Amino acid sequence: MSGSRLYLDHNATAPLLPEAREAMIEAMALQGNPSSVHAEGRAARAVVSRAREVVAGLTGVPASQVTFTSGATEAANHVLTPDYRMGRAPVRVSRLLVSAVEHPAVLAGGRFPADCVHVLGVDANGRLDLHALEQALSEHDQSTGQLMLALQYANNETGVIQPVREAAERVRAHQGLMVVDAVQAPGRLPVSLSGLGADFLILSAHKMGGPKGAGALVSAGETLMPAPLVKGGGQEKGHRCGTENLPAIAGFGAAAASAVAALDRVQETATLRDRMEHEMREAAPDIVIHGDGAERLANTTFFSLPGLKAETAQIAFDMEGVAVSAGSACSSGKIGESHVLAAMGADAALGAIRVSLSNLQTAEDIDAFVDVFRRINGRRMERRAAQAAA
C-alpha cells in the first residue's frame, strides 16, 4: 500500500525499482556515446555491456545474443518478419502462426502480410489448442518457406501459462521457428531460452521493475537473425541501429538482476493470491475467475461479476483508491471487447477486471482489496435486488 492508494496493476507496469532508478541516475552522469572509442565512450559502453550480461544471464544465453530495443513492441515487430538471413544467405519465412490470445503487438503479425498470419484457437482456459497447432504445421507447404509460431509464455490478462515447451517440440519437428513472448515471466517464472525450446524471446524492462522504453530480443544464436527493423549506424551489431538509450538499458540490467532474486518469493505471492480469490468467492459466489482451470502466474486474477461491466467496476475500484485494470493496459481508453475473453468463449461484452500483484504485496494489502471488493459487490447486489423488485 502506498499512502492511501493500493497499486494492483503490475502486469501493466511494475513501479521502478530503487536499484533500477539508481543505475539510471549513474548512467545519466556519463558524457560519452557508447560507440565512441575514447575513455568517455568506453565508460558508456561498459554500462551497456554490463546490462547485456545480466539480461543474458536471466535467459541463459551468451551476452552476444541479446539485442536491446525500445521495448517489447519493437522487439515483436523486429522478429516477426518473413525476411531472415542465415549468415549472408536469405531465409524466407512464409507463414506465421499465433494464438488467439496473444498480446496485440504479436497478434498484429509484425511485418508479415495479413494473409500469411494464421490464428490458432484456444480452450476455455485460454491455452493453445495443440491439435490445431499440429494440423496447421502438417498443412504447411515447406517449399514456400519456413513456418514460425509466436506464443506467449503467460497471458498478460489471465496469467494463464501456455504449453510453450510442447508447442516448441512440435514446431521443431516441422523445421519451424519458435518465438516466445516472455514479457510477463521475469520474476514470476524461470526464463530459459533453451528450456522453453525457443529460437527467440521477447522481453520488456518495465514489466520487471525497470524503466519504460527498453526491451530486448534474445536469440538462440547469432547466425539466423531477422532483417533489421531499424537501420542506420550499425549499433547492436547492425540488428538494431541508433544510439543506445544508456539510462534505460542500465535500469533494465538492474531490474533483470532483481527478477532472478524475485523467483524465491513466488510461492508467497501465490498464497496471497489464493487467499484473495477464496475471500472473493465467499463474498460473491457467482464470480467468474477466468483461466482458473489452468496453471497461472502466481500474481494474477482476472475476474468478472455478472451484471457489472468491467469499466464500471474499474472506476469504482479507482474511486476507492485501488488501481486495477479492465483487461490489458495496451487497450485502455479504447472501446472494444477483450479479444482474450472472446477467444476463451467468455462474455467479452461484460469484460473482466485484472488484479496483478507484486512480489512484495502484503496480507494487509489483500485485506484492503477484499474490503473494497465487498463494498463494490454489495452495491452490485443491491442494484440487482432493486431491479428484481421493480
pLDDT tens track for 160-208:
999 999 999 999 999 999 999 999 999 999 999 999 999 999 999 999 9
Mean pLDDT of 369-382: 97
DSSP for 42-104? HHHHHHHHHHHHHHHHHHTS-GGGEEEESSHHHHHHHHS-SEEEETTEEEEEEEEEEETTS-H
DSSP E strands, the chain = 6-7, 66-69, 83-86, 89-99, 117-120, 146-152, 177-181, 200-204, 215-219, 224-226, 288-289, 300-304, 322-323, 353-356
Lowest average pLDDT, out of 1-5, 136-140, 306-310, 312-316, goes to 1-5
Mean pLDDT of 227-238: 94
- pLDDT band, residue 218 (cuts 50/70/90): very high
Of 130, 124, 122, 129, nearest to 291 (Cα)?
A: 124
Which domains occur in the chain, in start order?
6-15+265-389 (3.90.1150.10), 18-261 (3.40.640.10)
Mean pLDDT of 213-239: 95
| pLDDT at residue 390, as a whole number | 80
CA-to-CA distance for 27 and 47, rounded, in angstroms? Answer: 7
Of 48, 49, 31, nearest to 40 (Cα)?
A: 31
| pLDDT at residue 336, as a whole number | 64
Q: What is the pTM of this model?
A: 0.95
| pLDDT at residue 4, as a whole number | 83
- pLDDT band, residue 246 (cuts 50/70/90): very high
CA-to-CA distance for 100 and 33, rounded, in angstroms? Answer: 42
Inter-residue contact 291 to 159 (CB < 8 Å)? yes
Summary mean pLDDT of the chain: 95
Mean pLDDT of 125-142: 97
Q: Which cell is 62 given?
A: 551468451
Q: Which residues contact 368 (CB under 8 A, 6 or more apart)?
A: 1, 6, 322
CA-to-CA distance for 130 and 173, rounded, in angstroms? Answer: 14
- pLDDT band, residue 332 (cuts 50/70/90): very low
Lowest average pLDDT, out of 194-208, 296-310, 314-328, goes to 314-328
Mean pLDDT of 74-96: 96
| pLDDT at residue 383, as a whole number | 93
pLDDT tens track for 37-73:
999 999 999 999 999 999 999 999 999 999 999 999 9
Inter-residue contact 265 to 359 (CB < 8 Å)? yes
Mean pLDDT of 82-101: 96
- The catalytic residue positions are 330
- pLDDT band, residue 337 (cuts 50/70/90): confident
Is 334's pLDDT higher than 80?
A: no
The Cα diameter of the chain in Å comes to 79
- % of the chain with per-residue pLDDT over 90: 94
